Every structure is written in structure tokens, then in C-alpha cells.
Structure 1
């Protein structure tokens, strides 16, 4: 949905990525608007190195493009949305420097604007990475909806950067004001990310092997119950073929398939840069010595870019949230992308919560859906491209 955001100095036409005329979710919210109002009303000098972290759909980067900011995001979709929104509003190429959470951040930060992420771990990692560039004169302001900012959020800012206070709420949004304390430079703990742990001994091929998680990836310190259930029901196949771990997260499922089918080429794909980095590290730690098939690691928009008929098997645990909103739009796009990329006879295997009703979507798209396994919470489904 295209929508207009009013900032104190202009209006901006914004959209999420990929654009979907049926999507009623906006590309900005009250937290973005509150931050922009504060910057204008407070007279915060937007000079020097302006860094915007966690900008969800490019609303902040677009509105601040005249100040040539650096945007840092973990989301491929947010990065593409930013590019599209900058072009939509006539911003010249190169006005905004686009970095990912895996890139080296600027060495000096004069203005730091943080859209508080859902993941406290991702916030911790990014503040640690940015802290060396923050100095006594840096203006640091965070923004988020009231339900996104907790005591633990404020404590992170205080522990890593300096004293912190919050604003009054406006339209259910709040600001976080932080005053950098240079004396913390020698006292702050080291960045704890990435984090590694050993898998339990009762999950088959991956038993006892190592998982490595970068900050912000789901279930950073343990194997989640959904993935554990999926591992018990993965297909048993041997021989050369192309397998895709779609929405790979830390890569546990794709790594299990690589170990179980050494001749298969396994592609790990996710829209999160942190996730793909985690998958690559997990694979290297647990399956890097296998002889036979190759492993490929891609950050991208689902199955976009895979030629039609180029894939034999897709494994998928689709998300059903987009930030704070519950939606099946991502799952539906993943299923359609898998159908297009699969060869005739190729299979899509999906795990999901029982109540999500994925079997109906698969039947509508593939014409079939088989229940492979179920328990009180999860179902594993298989659909075959006829």
C-alpha cells in the first residue's frame, strides 16, 4: 500500500517491499513520525555522520536524505524498500549510504538514530558495534512504539553508551534519549555475539553438533521446539539434487539435509543478513567437511531469482509476523515462489503451527497436501508439484 508520511518539512510517499496492493500495512508508523518531529522541534544539528539503525521500510532514511545519512539494516526487504522509496521521492542516487548489520559501521557517529528492534539481542550487538564511533557530542535518540520499549531496552543503552531517559508517549510511541559517556569505553563488556551452543543428543544426524547464532536470529541459545519437530520428519533422500532451506534462520534444517544427503547441493536463503551469516557459520562448524554436494548462502527475497524448474526440494518454516503485525502474506509468497522454482515432481515440505491452516493454502496452490507428522502444536506438510 502506498501511503503518505508527513514530516515537519515535507510529505513523503512510502511503500513496503515488495509492493502488494492488497497489503493494508503502512511503511511508517507513529514512532517514525515522532522521531522526525523531535528532530525538527529540538533543533538537533543533523551534521557530520548521521547514522540510522533499524529503519524498517526506509521512512527515516528517505525523510533525512538531505543530510546524507548512513542506514544500517538487517533486512534485505527493508533495504529494497529504502531504495524504492528514495527513488519514489526523487532522491538522487548515493544520497543515502546503505549498509547491512554485517558491514563495518562508520568509524565516527555524530548523530545516532535507532529504531528499536523487536530483538533485544540485535540491539545489543548493534550498539556494541557502533559504540567505538560514538563520542561525547553524539546525539543519540531511539524510537519505538510503547510496547517495544522496555526497562531492558533502556538498560542496554545505559550499559553500552551512557545515561538514558525516555520521553512522554505520543500516539503510543516513545523516544529514548541517551547521553554518551566516554568513560564507559574501557568498562563495557565485550560484545557477546555471535553465540554458539551444542545441539542435544536425540535429534538424529545433527546430535551433538554446533550451532552458531548471530544476534537477532530466532532462538539464539537453544534449539526451538518447532525445528526439533521438523528435524524428526525431514525427508530421507540420497543423490544429487538441489535443496533449498527457505527462511533458513541459523541453518540447522539445511545443515541436517546436507549431512543426510552428502551429494545434494543445499542453498540457504533468508532475508536477514544475520540469519544467513549464522547459517554459513553453523554449516561450516557442523558439515563443512562433507565431500560431495555444495552449499550456497543467499540473502534475498524468498525464491526470487531461482529459475523455474531448478529446485528438487524446498524446506520451509515460514514466519507469520511482520514486526508487530500478524500476517500470512510472507508464507503465501514463499509457497508461490517454491511452486514456481520446483521442477515437476519436486516437493515443498512445510512446518507450521496447527492453527495457521497451511494445508488449505498448499492445496489451493499445488492441488495436494499430505500430512507427514503432527503433534498438539505443529504439523509437517508435504506438497508435490504435479
Structure 2
């Protein structure tokens, strides 16, 4: 959906990435609008090093491009949306510096604007990484929808940076104001987090899992992945395997542990996730062949080049429930698979993935089920 956002600095044409004419979700929301209006109405000085953390689709940095901001994001899709939106609004190349959450943070921050992420852990990690660059004169303003900002969010700003308060709500959005205290010694960063898998899940039993902040199920193995691990096709015969939407990489690592001859591609749109997958793989001393790629699913993987795709698709895009991501993952998997290649999917029973697989592949087999999850197999004909 290509939409036009009115800002204090003019009107912007904005879209999510990948752009889909059927998409009804905008590339900005009321919290982005609230923050930009606050900056203009209060004449907040946007001088020096302006850093925007968590800008979801580039609306904030596109609006503030004249101030040459730095964007820090965990999302490859968000970063690509930003590039496209800057070009769409004729912003010069290089006006915005694009960094990922895995890049070294700026050495100095004079204005810190934070779009509160869904993950409190990711917010903690990023504030801790940025804290050394913040000084007493740094302007810190956060923004988010009311349902995204909790007491724990405010406590996190306060514990790491300094005294924190919130604004009144407008259009179900709220601002966060934080006054940095440089004498404050920030706590040690607890991320990445490491844990050991249980002993009853097949080849990955007892394996080490490394999770960077913000990656799904950072503290322990989730029940869906546990169920998937018990039913994976481990006898791959040195196949070309993709862990699609790899998260911490435990699924692909389990395949590699079972079959060191397998070639495993770990791919995710989250920079934190791919870093976690690589760390998990290396932590277990796997002697196989692996590739780690941040990107848009299987885009760029040659058609007919893959034997097996393993997928636990997300059904949320930030706070919105949608099957668009799953549909694109299944479609890309079908394109990338060779004839006779297989897509294995785990999902909640109520999501009806078997219907989508039948539409795309012409077949869908139930491999295993329990009261909550199903494991499905589709074959590329």
C-alpha cells in the first residue's frame, strides 16, 4: 500500500517492503506522526548526531532526512523499505546512514529517537549499546502505541539512561521523555543469552543455543520448535537444506548435527536472528557446510536449487496479524525447490496452512499433530 503521510516538513509518499498493491497496512502509524509533530511543535533542536532507533519502515528518517540522521534497525525489510521510501521522495543518496543492530553504534548521540519495539529485550540491548554515546545534553524521545508502552518499558529507559516520564495519549499513541544521567553507570549487557536444549529431542539433544536480543524464545526452547525437532526429516543424504525464517538456527543446526554432509542455508530478515543462528551453529562445532544470509526469504536463491525447506512462519507483522508473510515464504519455497523437493512447515492448527500448501503445491500431507500444532509436508511436483 502506497500512502501519503502529512508531516510538519511536507507530505511523504510511503510504502512497506516488499510493496504489494493488496497490502492494507500503512508504512507509518499514529506514533510516528505524534513524534514528528512533537519535534516540530516544541522546536526540538535536531542538530549534531541524530539517531533513530527502530524506525519500522523508514517514515521517521525520511521525514528527518534534512538532518542527516542515522537509522538503526533489526529488520532487513525495514531497511529496504527505508531505501525505497527515500528514493520515492527524492531524498539524496547518503542523507541517511543505515545501520543494523549488529553494527557498531555511533560514538556520539545528540538526539535519540526511539520507536519502541515489540521486544523489550531488543530495546534493552540497544539502549545499553547506545548508552556510552549519550551525554547529559542528549535529547531522548521515544514513541509507540499505548498498547506497546508498559511500565516495564519506562523502567528500562530509567534504569539504563535516566529519569523517564510519558506524555498524554493522542490517537492511541504516547511519547516517552528521558533525561540522561551520564554519572549513571549502565548495567552490564546480558545479551546474547545461551541455553542448553533438553535431552529428548533427537540429534539436537543437549545442543547449545545462542540468542541475541529480540530473537524468538530467547530464554528456552518453545513448544512449537520442540515438536518440530521431534519430527524433522533428519536423513537428508547430504541435501541442500534451507532453514527459512531461521530465528536462532536451532532447526538448521539440528539437521547439520544429524547429517554433516548436508548443506544448510540459514536465512531470516532479522539481523539479530541470523547472528544468533551463526553463533548457535558454531557453538556446537558442526563440521558441515553452512551459509548465513539476511534477506527477504528465499529471494535471490536460484529456482530449483534446493532439496528441502524447513519453515516455522510468523503470523504477525509487528502488532498486526497477517498471513502475508507465510504466503510469500511458501511461494518462494516452491520456486526454490527442485522437482521432488519438499517443504516442511510447522504451525498452529487454526492457521489452516494445509489449504495454502494445497493451492500452491497441489498437495499437503499431515506428518504429525498434537492439540496445538501440526507438521505439514508439501512436495514440489
Q: TM-score, normalised by structure 2?
A: 0.99
Q: Is the 8 A contact 2:164 2:179 kept in 1?
A: yes
Instruction: State the Cα deviation string for residues 144-171 of structure 1 (Å, max 9, x = none).
Output: 0000000000000000000000000000
Tell me the equivalent position of 2:373.
378
Instruction: State the Cα deviation string for residues 28-50 of structure 1 (Å, max 9, x = none).
Output: 00000000000001111000000
Matches within 5 A, 1:18-29: 18-29=18-29
Work out the CA distance in 1 between the residues paired with 2:147 and 2:162.
23
Instruction: State the Cα deviation string for residues 277-302 of structure 1 (Å, max 9, x = none).
Output: 0000000112x342xx3111000000
Work out the CA distance in 1 between the residues paired with 2:215 and 2:8.
36
SS of equivalent residue, structure 1 residue 184: coil
Tell me the equivalent position of 1:239.
237
Matches within 5 A, 1:307-326: 307-326=302-321
Tell me the equivalent position of 2:209.
211
Offset at residue 236 of structure 1 (A): 3.0
Matches within 5 A, 1:97-246: 97-185=97-185, 188-246=186-244
Matches within 5 A, 1:273-352: 273-286=271-284, 288-290=285-287, 293-352=288-347
Offset at residue 183 of structure 1 (A): 1.3
Tell me the equivalent position of 1:361.
356
Offset at residue 237 of structure 1 (A): 1.8
Instruction: State the Cα deviation string for residues 153-192 of structure 1 (Å, max 9, x = none).
Output: 000000000000000000000000000001113xx22000
Tell me the equivalent position of 2:55.
55
SS of equivalent residue, structure 2 residue 329: helix
Structure 2: gaps spanning 5 or more residues: none
Work out the CA distance in 1 between the residues paired with 2:360 and 2:202.
32
Tell me the equivalent position of 2:262.
264
Offset at residue 238 of structure 1 (A): 3.8
SS of equivalent residue, structure 1 residue 66: helix
**Structure 2 residue 83 is matched with structure 1 residue 83:** yes
Work out the CA distance in 2 between the residues paired with 1:241 and 1:328.
29
RMSD of aligned Cα (Å): 0.6
SS of equivalent residue, structure 1 residue 373: strand
**Structure 2 residue 89 is matched with structure 1 residue 94:** no
Instruction: State the Cα deviation string for residues 68-98 of structure 1 (Å, max 9, x = none).
Output: 0000000000000000000000000000000
Work out the CA distance in 2 between the residues paired with 1:236 and 1:49.
50
Q: Is the 8 A contact 2:256 2:286 kept in 1?
A: no
Work out the CA distance in 1 between the residues paired with 2:92 and 2:79.
16
Work out the CA distance in 2 between the residues paired with 1:266 and 1:23.
32
* Count of aligned positions: 381
SS of equivalent residue, structure 1 residue 105: coil
Work out the CA distance in 1 between the residues paired with 2:270 and 2:63.
24
Offset at residue 241 of structure 1 (A): 1.9
Work out the CA distance in 2 between the residues paired with 1:81 and 1:238.
37
Work out the CA distance in 2 between the residues paired with 1:169 and 1:6.
20
Tell me the equivalent position of 1:252.
250
Offset at residue 104 of structure 1 (A): 0.4
Offset at residue 209 of structure 1 (A): 1.5
SS of equivalent residue, structure 1 residue 364: helix
Offset at residue 201 of structure 1 (A): 1.2
Tell me the equivalent position of 1:17.
17
SS of equivalent residue, structure 2 residue 25: coil
SS of equivalent residue, structure 1 residue 333: helix
